[in-house]
Amino acid sequence: MDAAISSSEPTPLIRERTCAKRIRTPIVPATTADHPAIHYFLEAVFDRNWAAEFRAACDDPNYRPGDRLLLRRGPRMLGHARISRRTMQFDCCRVPACGLHELCIIPSLRRQGYGAYLLAAAERAMFDAGAEVGWLRTSAPHFFRRSGWALCGRHNYSRADARSLLAQLWQRGVPQRRGRVWHIRPWRQWETGSLARIYQQNLFGAFGWTVRDSDYWNWLLNRPAFDEIYVAIEGPDQLELGERNTRLIGYSVVRGARIIELLTSPDRPRAALELLARIATDALEHDRSDITLHAPAEHPLHGVFLDAGGLHQHVQADRGEVYMARVLDPVRLMQAMAEVFRRRVDRARVSSPIELGFFVEGRKYLLEVEGDSVQASAHRLGRSYLAMNVADFTRLLLGQLDWDWALRDRRIECSTALAQQLGRVLFPTVPLYRPVWDDWPLA
């Protein structure tokens, strides 16, 4: 398949803020020597102990001191922002992405444009790091929306009474401890590769999941964001160092009464039920009445929680916090998604060649699909195009646009009927999900 970009020039969809013309305070990348001052600054701004969070961020295998941006006036630190470098799975493709964390300004400078000034610098740093998408989790969505960030992704979790869950699991044929098909026990350090294997088996075809290499896995397992990891073992030897006779077929990551990740081998889906039974039993032993499962909306265990009389939440805002995203380089993002577009065109049996343009707040982009060739370019539009703002363009590219709502509220204007048809084919709504374990607050 040929996936090409028309021009070698970068095509960032980021703008310099007008406040930059009147704010003269420099923003500089941090160095290792700045770490003690940054740690003190973050604790003062957020008014809590930041030692564990700071140490974990610095231990991230992709971390560089320059990923922290500092707003300074002389030796005094006035603001801070940090980006994290990640790779995001998007169906069959992988997309470079960056997270935005700890963007903060001292109280005396708030509401004066310094926050937008620092955000613009962070967006530029993400773009310079090679990211095509930026993402964050925030309780202040209105601030980021003004800069083109869009609500993307939802909180997905279910909650139920532990006793009711056990009763429901027994009704589904899950035996009590002595008769269980698989051994459920705490994870051992040498089984890291098995956890990575199961995650990898579930990764292909997912939308929004973090791609985890071996260094990332080691960092994640050393990050104190969980209390216990349970594994499901198939075979006679529960403590075998390899997987010659005994195979690990599932795992669950638990923090308190919350399951923050639970995955099984695709050929052993019932192992999830036995993992849940072990967690529910242990919860009762620790006087925890409710259990919460954080998992993608399509995870089959949500049905178990509902049948046990629990509730399932699939909401944009949870306790005031939302997920947001922003496309930083549309052309390179569409190039990275070339195989996704080709497959969607094949499934819809749309005759090629096809062209679909995008007019985004004065900027022009064009996506062309012809056979196995997919090309994206800037500064071109074509006859059939969609006009929208930056936030809706982000939602469109990431599969989070509600087409009926967008057309009804005139969030999108279609130059031709063909433009709408192609838009629905190339950019359907998909189940975007950010695994919560990767960014779960530390103890």
pLDDT tens, position by position, 18-68:
555 567 789 999 999 999 999 999 999 999 999 999 999 999 999 999 999
User: Model confidence over 330-355: pLDDT tens digits?
Assistant: 999 999 999 999 999 999 999 889 99
Distance between CA atoms of residues 69 and 82, nearest Å: 6
Give the model confidence (pLDDT) of 294-339 as tens digits.
999 999 999 999 999 999 999 999 999 999 999 999 999 999 999 9
Q: Which one-letter amino acid corresponds to residue 340?
A: V
Q: Three-state SS for 309?
A: coil
Of 315, 350, 385, the one marking the end of a domain is: 315
Q: pLDDT tens for residues 175-228?
A: 876 555 789 999 999 999 999 999 999 999 999 999 999 999 999 999 999 999
How many separate domains does the chain show? 2
Q: Are residues 102 and 22 in the same domain?
A: yes
In terms of Cα–Cα distance, which of 283, 257, 305 is closest to 156?
305
CA angle 341, 396, 329 (to 5 degrees): 80
**Integer Cα distance of 28 and 62 in angstroms:** 19
Share of the chain above pLDDT 90, in %: 85
Asked whether residue 307 falls in the same domain as residue 324, the answer is: no
Same domain (yes/no): 162, 310: yes
Does residue 409 sit within a domain?
no
One domain for residues 180 and 310: yes
- Residue 10 pLDDT more than 70? no
Task: State whether 148 and 198 are in the same domain.
Answer: no
Residue 414 lies in a domain: no
Domain boundary residue among 328, 350, 367? 328
In-domain check, residue 435:
no
Average pLDDT score, the chain: 92
Domain end: 257, 285, 315, which one?
315
Q: Is residue 407 part of a domain?
A: no
pTM of the prediction? 0.91
Domain that holds residue 212: 156-315
What is the model's pLDDT at position 8? 42
- List, as one string, the DSSP characters of 174-198: ---GGG-SSEEEE--GGGHHHHHHH
140/15 same-domain check? yes
Per-residue confidence (pLDDT) for residue 11, from 0 to 100: 66
Residues 143 and 191 grouped into a single domain: no
Q: Are 42 and 54 in contact (CB under 8 A)?
A: yes
- Structural domain includes residue 241: yes
**Does 168 share its domain with 311?**
yes
CATH number reported for the structural domain that contains residue 71 in this entry: 3.40.630.30
Q: pLDDT grade, residue 7 (50/70/90)?
A: very low
pLDDT at 239: 60
Do 146 and 27 fall within a single domain? yes
Task: Please report the pLDDT score of residue 196 as a whole number.
Answer: 97
Residues 128 and 228 in one domain: no
pLDDT at 398: 98
How many beta carbons lie within 10 A of that of residue 146, not counting itself? 13
Specify whether 167 is located in the same domain as 309.
yes
List the single range of 4-18, 160-174, 235-249 with lowest mean pLDDT. Answer: 4-18
Q: Are residues 175 and 273 in the same domain?
A: yes
